[in-house]
Amino acid sequence: MKTLILLPGMDGTGTLYEPMRKALDAKCKLTVLSYPTDQALGYAELQALVTAQLPVDEDYILIGESFSGPIAISMAATRPPGLKALILCATFARNPYPLLAASKYILPYLPGRLPPLSLLSHLLLGRFSSKELRAQLANALAQVQASCLNARLRAVLACDVRDKLHAIKVPVLYLQATRDRLIPLSALTQIHNQIPDMEICRYEAPHFLLQTRAEAVIKDILGFIASHEQQ
């Protein structure tokens, strides 16, 4: 059985992927990693935690969703044993809003409160929002200290791992949400420019692609895996 290892979005709790588990229906093993909820860690520290949790005795496919895309890219660039493919979901290799990069210096001095749930729902779910998804989002964010989220946002604003893309030698699949209000199309384009043979699947979906279109995504992931097993 194939193993999928999923690196979660900015909340880092790993609690938002039950739709994927249901859609997989035991066709693959899904391991969702999580990040500390009480430690203000950046990309380098989180990558070290991920490295320590990767399998050493089995093959696997690494999935980097949203915030975790740069970690997944950096991991794949090191060519770890057992890594057979990389899947990037609604994510980026460089800060998708470079004009905001300077704001990382003032973030520590801003109030530690999160934006209202209504705004987060607008950005992450859009017209695909539901009472259940909003409750799941609120529950995940409630588990994480504001200092952690602040540190992760600073990491995004300073992020640029484009130079690592050329070192990736496994097959790559990018899952794009065409109704994404958070990650612009330019983020996909930057990665595709460096990995021209990357496969792309597009969905009419919000940033929370894995939560709202799980069945379609899993069908494409399984097809991607099968096509490369035959090569």
pLDDT in tens, 16-25: 999 999 999 8
Joined tokens for residue 60: 């696997």
Helix axes 43-53, 69-77, angle to 10 degrees: 60
Residue 38: strand, helix, or coil: coil
| CA distances, 104 to each of 52, 67, 127 (Å) | 28, 16, 30
Sheet holding 29-32: strands in order across?
29-32, 3-7, 60-65, 83-89, 172-177, 199-203
One-letter amino acid for residue 208 of the chain? F
Does pLDDT of 218 surpass 90?
yes
| CA distances, 77 to each of 56, 109, 210, 223, 226 (Å) | 17, 34, 24, 24, 23
Q: Find the range with the poorest average confidence among 4-13, 50-59, 163-172, 222-231.
A: 222-231
Overall average pLDDT of the 149-167 stretch? 93
Higher pLDDT, 98 or 142: 142
Task: Please report which confidence band the pLDDT of residue 107 belongs to, taking 50, 70 and 90 as the band edges.
Answer: very low
At residue 202, the pLDDT reads: 98
Task: Please report which confidence band the pLDDT of residue 56 belongs to, taking 50, 70 and 90 as the band edges.
Answer: confident
Joined tokens for residue 39: 């430690």
Does pLDDT of 150 surpass 90?
no
At residue 113, the pLDDT reads: 52
At residue 231, the pLDDT reads: 58
Averaged confidence pLDDT in the chain: 91
Looking at the chain, the number of H-run helices and the number of E-run strands are: 9, 6
Does pLDDT of 162 surpass 90?
yes
Number of compact structural domains in the chain: 1
At residue 109, the pLDDT reads: 41
Overall average pLDDT of the 189-206 stretch? 97
Overall average pLDDT of the 58-83 stretch? 96
Percent of the chain with pLDDT over 70: 91
Joined tokens for residue 40: 């203000």
Task: Return the CA Rg of the chain.
Answer: 17
Does pLDDT of 59 surpass 50?
yes
Which CATH number is 164's domain given? 3.40.50.1820
Q: What residue has token string 């790993």?
A: 14
Contacts of 40 (CB under 8 A, 6+ apart): 145, 147, 148, 150, 151
Please name which of 178, 185, 168, 163 lies closest in space to residue 216, comparing C-alpha atoms.
178
Its domain, for residue 102, covers 3-229
At residue 106, the pLDDT reads: 44
pLDDT in tens, 21-38: 999 988 899 999 999 999
- Residue pair 33/51 in contact (Cβ under 8 Å)? The answer is no
Overall average pLDDT of the 191-203 stretch? 98
Overall average pLDDT of the 96-118 stretch? 59
The secondary element (H helix, E strand) that includes residue 4 is strand 3-7
Q: Taking CA 170 as the corner, what is the angle to CA 17 and CA 203, rounded to the nearest 5 degrees?
A: 45
Chain center to CA of 34: 12
At residue 3, the pLDDT reads: 94
| CA distances, 188 to each of 150, 206, 207 (Å) | 24, 15, 13
At residue 124, the pLDDT reads: 92
Name the maximum alpha-carbon separation found in the chain.
53
Does pLDDT of 209 surpass 80?
yes
